[in-house]
Chain A
Amino acid sequence: MSAEILSLSAAQAAAAVAAGELDRAELWGAYRERAATDTLNAFTWVADDAPAAVDGPLGGVPLAVKDLFCTEDVPSQSGSKILEGYRPPYTATVVAKLQAAGAPLLGKTNQDEFAMGSSNENSAFGPVNNPWDLTRVPGGSSGGSAAAVAAGLAPWALGTDTGGSIRQPAALCGIVGLKPTYGACSRYGMIAFASSLDQAGPLTRDVTDAALLFSEMVGTDSFDSTSLGMPSPVLLPTRRDLSGVRLGVPEELLEQEGGLEPGVRARFDEALALAKELGATVTPCRLPHAEHALSAYYLLAPAEASSNLARFDGVRYGLRVDGDHDLMTMYTHTRAAGFGPEVKRRIMLGTYALSSGYYDAYYGTAQRVRTKIAEDFAAGFSAVDFIVTPTSPGVAFELGAKSADPLAMYLNDFFTVPMSLAGIPAISIPAGLSEGLPVGLQLAGPAFSENALLDAAYALEQAIGFDGSPARTGEGR
C-alpha cells in the first residue's frame, strides 16, 4: 500500500483523500516513514507527529519546506552554522498559507548556506546527494527540496529562487520547478538572501502539482510591501497543444563560450521539435544584454546580501563566539566562525560594491544593466509568447567538481539569472536524459503570465512523457 501511495502525484493524492479513497493519516505516515529514512541528507529536520488535520484543497498532502522559511518552533537555519538550532517565533506567510490550505509540514530541507550556491555543497549541514547518481550534486540552492521530491521522500516541496535556485536543482533532479513573478508570493518569513530577487516557488513531480501548490501560495500580504499577488486566480493546466503559441529562442545566448553540453543541446532541440509538432512556432529572439546578466547579478545579489546578513551578529539569536572583552571582536569572531567561505566571499563582494566611491561604478552600473535586461525581455515578448532555453548548461556534476572554482559554479546560473533580474516567471520541466541524467527545459513568460506558462509547460510535459520514476522508487540506481 505504501509504495502505491508514494507513487501518486500530490494532486492525485489530494484527489484520493477528497474522494475518501485515501486516509489522510495513512498518507502522512507513509511519507513520514519515508522521510525518516532519508540517506541523501535532503532533510535537516523531519516532523515527529502528524499535525492536526486541516481540511483544504491540498488534501493533507505533506510538504517539505526549504530550511530558510521560518517555521514557528521548528529549526530554520538557512543552511548556516550561524543559525544552527535557531527556532523562530513565527511562521513564514507562504508556509502558513499552505498549512491552512491542508498541506502539513513534513520536514525542512537542506540548502546552500543562505541560498548561495548551485550545488548544495555550501550547506553547513553537509552536501545532498542527487538521487539519480549519489556521486553527483542535486543542484542548488534548493538542493534538499529537489532531491527529496525526485527521490519520492516528499510529494512536493517549497523552494526559493534568487538566480535559479528552484529551476536549476529541479532540472538536475528531473522534476518541475517554478520561479514565479517577483511579488506573486509573500517573502515574509523567508530568511533573505537578495531581497529584490528572492521568490518562493514549488518543486514538484509534475506541472499540475506545481500549479496546485502555487495556487495556494500566491496573494498580497500586509506584512510584505513588495507582494502583489496575482491579477487572476491560478488555474490547473489543461492544454494539450501549442497551436498559435510563439516560442522565442535566444540563440546568441545559447552559443556563448563555454556553453552547452551536447546532450543538453540535443534534448533542447528535440523539445523544440516536439513543440512545433504541437503547433508552436519557434523563432530566434534577441536578448542583447542578457550575456551581462551574470556580472550584474553577482554585484546586485551580494550587495543586498551584505546588508541582509549583517544582522547575524551574535547579539540576539544564533551563534555567539565570545570576543576579547569587547564588542568588535565578538562580532568578528562570531561571523568568522558562523559563515562559510562562499557566504563570506559574497559579503566581501557586496560590501565592496556598495562602498563609497565604488557605488556608482559597481552597484549603479549593475542596476542599469538590470533595467536593460528587463527592457530586452519586454521587447522580446512583443514578438513571442515565451522564451525557451535549457535550464542549465549541463547535467548534474560530480560532488566537489566545481567547489574550487567559483566562476565555473556561477556559470550554472547563466540561463536562469536573466529572468530573475527581470522579475519574470520561469519554469523548468524535465526534457529527458543525457548520459542517464536529467536535462531541464526552461520556459519564461511576461510578468504574471503563470497561467499561460503552466499551460504551455503542461502541453510540452505530456508530449515529452518524461518518466522520472526510477529515481523515485530507489535512492539512486
Chain B
Amino acid sequence: MTDYEPVIGLEIHVQLGTTTKLFCGCELSFGDTPNIHTCPTCLGLPGALPVINAQAVHYAIMIGLALECEIAPRSQFHRKNYFYPDSPKAYQISQYDVPICGAGRLGEVRIHRAHLEDDAAKLTHLGASGRIDDAQRSVVDFNRGGTPLVEIVTEPDIHSPQQAREFLTLLRTTLRALGVSDVDMSQGSLRADANVSVRPVGSDTLGTKTELKNMNSFAFLEKGVKAEIERQIALLESGGRVAQETLHYDPVSGRLTSLRSKEEAHDYRYFPEPDLPPLVVTDAMLEAAKAAMPELPAARAARFSSELGLPVERARELAFRAELGDYYEAAVTEGGDPVMTANWIQALIERIGTEIDPADSKVTPEALAAVVKLVGDKAISRDAGREVLSKLVDEGGDPAAIVERDGLGAISSADGGLAEVVAAALAGDPDAAEKVRAGNMKAVGPLVGYVMRETKGRADGGEINRLIREQLGI
C-alpha cells in the first residue's frame, strides 16, 4: 500500500460581534423572536441600498493584522448572484478579486486571504426530512440576514486532522482575544469548511479535492476530515478516482454524503457591487485597528515562557486558552510564584475539568495564589495544599481559614509536635537510625515514612530530615 499525505485547507466563516448588521442599522441578535430585527435593506426590499458598517471594517482590519495579512488600501465589494429564499436580494455582497485582507500567516499555516461579506437569513424546512425538496413549508428568519462575516481562507498547509483541529483552536483563541466574535461553533458564529485531498508521499502535485461543509464542532472537524481522508485513500487503493464534489459529514452516522458535484456548481456571475464605492482603508483606520490590538495568544505564550520562566508547552496551554491565561496572570499578580502557579492551575483543571473556565469555579485567583504561597512558605505541605485545593473547588473560601479549621497546617519543630514524632520514629527503628548515623542516607526512608503517617502528611519532608540529623547528632 502506498503511503499518502493528506493536504487540507480550511475556509472559516466568522460572525463578527458588531452592534449592528453589515449593511444596515439593525441590531444583531441570537434566538430572538423571528423577523423583528429587519429593515428595507436587510429584507432586500425594492429600492433599499447597503451602507458599510465601520465597526465591521475595523474588526476585519484587526483580524487581518492578527493574521499578519497585507491590508488592501482599497478593496472592492462584488455581488455573488444566486437564487435562494435565504438571500432576499438574490445576491450576497462579498469580496472577490480584491479582498480587504491579503496573504498572511497564523502559526505554521499560511493565510490565503480574508474578506468581508453578509450572512444569509436562517431557513427552516418544516417536514419529515428537514430538507427543502420535500418540506411541507419553509420559513425564513431574517434576523440573521446581513450579519457581518469575515471569511478566512488558508493555504493547503495542513496535513492531518489533528493539525486542522489545532489550527482552528489557535484561530478561535486569537479571534476571541481580539474580541471581534463570540466564536461559538455550536451557535454558528464560527463555521469551518475543509478542502481535503490526498497524494502519495513525496508527490508535489495536488490530488483532486473535495469540500466538507459546515462542521459545527472541533471534534466533528477532526472526525470528518479523518473520515474523508480514509475514504479517499480507500478509493484510490481500490483503483478508483476522487470526484470533485461538496460533501456533508454526518457526525452521528459518520457518513459523508454528496451535496453537489462540480458539474452542478453555480455560476455566481460576480461583478463589482455598484451600490458601494471601493472600500478605502485610511492610515487613521489602520492606526485605530493597531491601537485596539490586544496581546495575541502566540505573543502571550512567548512572554509566559521568556519572562515568567514557564516551559514552552505549559506557556502555550495557558496562553492559547485566553481564560486560562487571564486566570493565571491574575493569580501571579496576587503574588503566586509564576512557575508554581502554573503547576497549581494544572491541578485545578484536573479537579474542575477542561471545559470550565476557572474564573467560573469557586476558586478565586487570590485563593489559588494563597495556596501557592502557603506551600511555598512551607506553612502547609504539598499534600495538604492539594487537599485545600479540593476543598476550595467544592466550597470556595479562604485557604488559610480552611487550613486553620481542618488543622492542615504543617507540623514543625517550632510548636514542638514534630520533634517528638521524629524522636518516636528513631526509637521505634534503632536499626535504621544506626545506619543513618553511619552515613547510609538511603535508610532514612522508613523513618520519614513513619513521620508522614503519624502526621497525616502535614509535616514538611525537609524539616523531618533536618530533625533526624539533629537528633542523631550528624
Contacts and interface: CB of A to CB of B under 8 A. Distances in A.
Interface string A56-70: 000000000000111
Interface string B73-92: 00000010101010011110
A327 B132 contact: yes
Given A327-B85, A327-B132, A351 B47 contact: no
22 contacts: A68-B47, A69-B47, A86-B46, A90-B40, A187-B49, A188-B48, A188-B49, A190-B47, A225-B51, A225-B52, A226-B275, A303-B271, A307-B79, A310-B89, A310-B91, A313-B85, A315-B88, A315-B140, A316-B43, A316-B44, A354-B270, A359-B269
Nearest to B85: A315
A367 to B, nearest CB: 9
A83 B81 contact: no
A188 B472 CA distance: 96
B397 interface: no
Given A196-B274, A225-B52, A311-B89, A89 B81 contact: no
Contacts of B83: 310, 313, 331
Interface of A: 68-70, 76, 78, 83, 86, 88-90, 92, 187-192, 194-196, 222-226, 303-304, 306-307, 310-313, 315-317, 326-327, 331, 351, 354-356, 359, 363
Given A89-B45, A225-B276, A317-B45, A359 B271 contact: yes
Nearest to B40: A90
Interface in B242-289: 267, 269-271, 274-277
A366 to B, nearest CB: 11
Given A195-B274, A354-B269, A78 B49 contact: no
Nearest 7 CB-CB pairings of A with B: A310-B90, A196-B274, A195-B274, A354-B269, A191-B46, A189-B47, A70-B47
A223 B51 contact: yes
Contacts of A317: 45-46
B133 A326 contact: yes
Nearest to B24: A223
A70 B46 contact: yes
B50 interface: yes
Contacts of A89: 40, 45
A311 B81 CA distance: 10
B274 to A, nearest CB: 4
Contact of A192 (B43, B47, B277): B47
Interface string B41-77: 1011111111110000000000000000000000000
Interface in B218-247: none
B46 A356 contact: no
Specify which of B40, B48, B52, B133 lies most central, judged by the most chain A CB atoms within 10 Å of its CB: B48
Given A225-B276, A307-B81, A191 B269 contact: no
A194 B43 CA distance: 20
B38 to A, nearest CB: 10
Contacts of B45: 70, 88-90, 317
Give the most central of B41, B45, B269: most A CB within 10 Å.
B269
Contacts of A70: 45-47
A311 B90 contact: yes
B274 A304 contact: yes
A191 B47 contact: yes
Given A70-B46, A313-B83, A354-B269, 10 more contacts: A78-B46, A88-B47, A89-B40, A223-B41, A223-B49, A225-B49, A303-B271, A307-B79, A307-B269, A359-B271
Contacts of A190: 47
A89 B89 CA distance: 17
Contacts of B47: 68-70, 76, 88, 92, 187-192
A327 B85 CA distance: 9
A355 B81 CA distance: 11
Contacts of B49: 187-188, 223-226
User: Quick one: which of B43, B51, B133 has the most chain A CB within 10 A?
Assistant: B51
A351 B90 CA distance: 13
Nearest to B267: A356
A304 B52 CA distance: 20
A97 to B, nearest CB: 15
Contacts of A303: 271
A83 B270 CA distance: 26
A192 B83 CA distance: 18
Given A88-B46, A315-B85, A225 B275 contact: yes
Nearest to A363: B271
Contacts of A224: 49, 51
A90 B91 CA distance: 22
Contacts of A359: 269-271
A195 B275 contact: yes
A194 B274 CA distance: 9
A379 B251 CA distance: 65
A293 B270 CA distance: 23
Contacts of B43: 316
A359 B79 CA distance: 14
Contacts of A222: 51
A224 B271 CA distance: 19
A313 B271 contact: no
A311 B46 contact: yes
Contacts of B79: 307
A83 B48 contact: no
B269 A311 contact: no
Nearest to A325: B134
A280 B41 CA distance: 48
Contacts of A88: 40, 45-47
Nearest to B91: A307
A351 B270 CA distance: 11
B141 to A, nearest CB: 13
B187 to A, nearest CB: 26
Contacts of B271: 303-304, 307, 354, 359, 363
Contacts of A355: 267, 269
Contacts of A225: 49-52, 275-277
A327 B135 CA distance: 10
